[in-house]
């Protein structure tokens, strides 16, 4: 059975997984570090592949497929894959087309991560007239697909970046680890609970409002797929999210690799 190393290179972290044709078998996360050399990245990849072998019994990799919004990481990954894995890294939206019509005024402006997430959400609901994917990452992004066309989206503040900005620019608000155990909104009786409630239910309300406004302009029904570190927490307190897929981007890369492999093209 063939396997691919799939990587989602974001501004904060690099999420990577080992995938076969049907699923992402195991996944890991590394901090995004553009100052590391390609050799260090290659050695880290080798260690993670050894861990994957211990967990799944799978080590042999036939292809590397990545999406990246950090251009400085691309040559590092390419060097690491060539030297340590004997493979060329294929990048979504550059080497491997994402099979969605791109209706952005300047198609090159759309991040590969947004296109791959939208593609994966569309494949999850292939019969729906439209679909929205929400990624709660460094930024919170909403991306819309109608039929087979990426029609655009929204870019909003991210959860952790907003929390960091709030704490760093206010004298009396601490940097706190978000606790997302609550399911009912109540007035906070301390700074910590006020911030936790405000962030959890504030992002839930933003998601509800923006999804409702986006759906008003899209053919429906229009399911919503959420991904990213805050997706499960938000989904617990709102009914605007139809599916939570923490590995949506990795699964989109898996689908791109499988489709290209089956067609005999890039990403074999």
CA 222 to chain centre: 20
Read off the pTM. Answer: 0.89
| Backbone angles phi and psi of 38, in degrees to 5 | -60, -30
Q: Averaged over 116-120, what is the pLDDT?
A: 97
Q: Which fold has domain 4-91?
A: Nucleotidyltransferase; domain 5 (3.30.420)
For residue 124, pLDDT over 60 is answered with: yes
Active site residues: 113
For residue 139, pLDDT over 70 is answered with: yes
For residue 117, pLDDT over 90 is answered with: yes
Show the tokens assigned to 172.
Answer: 């009396």
For residue 268, pLDDT over 50 is answered with: no
Per-residue pLDDT band at 263 (split at 50, 70, 90): confident
Question: Domain residues of the chain, as ranges?
Answer: 4-91, 101-248
Q: Do domains 4-91 and 101-248 have the same CATH topology?
A: yes
On whether the CB atoms of residues 135 and 141 are closer than 8 A, the answer is yes
Per-residue pLDDT band at 240 (split at 50, 70, 90): very high
Q: CA 138 to CA 161: how far, in whole Å?
A: 6
- Please state, rounded to an integer, the average pLDDT across all residues of the chain: 90
On whether the CB atoms of residues 139 and 69 are closer than 8 A, the answer is no
Question: Span 101-248: which CATH code?
Answer: 3.30.420.40
The pLDDT tens digits of the residues spanning 39-64 come to 999 999 999 999 988 888 766 899 99
Per-residue pLDDT band at 267 (split at 50, 70, 90): very low
Nearest CA to 144 out of 224, 202, 89, 79 is that of: 224
pLDDT for the residue numbered 116:
97
């Amino acid at each position: 059975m063939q396997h691919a190393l799939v990587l989602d290179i974001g501004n904060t972290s690099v999420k990577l997984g080992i995938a076969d044709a049907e699923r992402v078998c195991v996944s890991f996360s590394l901090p995004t570090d553009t100052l590391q050399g390609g050799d260090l990245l290659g050695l880290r990849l080798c260690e993670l592949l050894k861990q994957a072998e211990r967990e799944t019994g799978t080590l042999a990799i036939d292809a590397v497929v990545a999406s990246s919004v950090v251009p400085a990481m691309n040559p590092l990954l390419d060097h690491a894959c060539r030297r340590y894995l004997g493979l060329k890294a294929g990048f979504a939206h550059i080497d491997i087309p994402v099979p969605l019509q791109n209706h952005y005024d300047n198609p090159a402006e759309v991040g590969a991560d947004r296109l791959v997430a939208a593609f994966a959400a569309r494949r999850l609901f292939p019969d729906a007239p439209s679909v929205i994917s929400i990624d709660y990452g460094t930024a919170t992004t909403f991306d819309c697909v109608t039929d087979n066309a990426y029609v655009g989206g929204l870019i909003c503040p991210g959860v952790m970046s907003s929390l960091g900005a709030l704490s760093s620019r206010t004298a009396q608000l601490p940097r706190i680890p978000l606790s997302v155990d609550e399911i009912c909104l109540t007035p906070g009786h301390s700074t910590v609970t006020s911030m936790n409630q405000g962030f959890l239910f504030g992002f839930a309300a933003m998601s509800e409002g923006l999804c409702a406004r986006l759906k008003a302009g899209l053919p429906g029904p229009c399911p919503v797929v959420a991904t990213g570190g805050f997706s499960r927490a938000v989904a617990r307190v709102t009914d605007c999210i139809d599916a939570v897929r923490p590995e949506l981007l990795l699964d989109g890369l898996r689908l791109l690799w499988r489709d290209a492999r089956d067609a005999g093209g890039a990403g074999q």
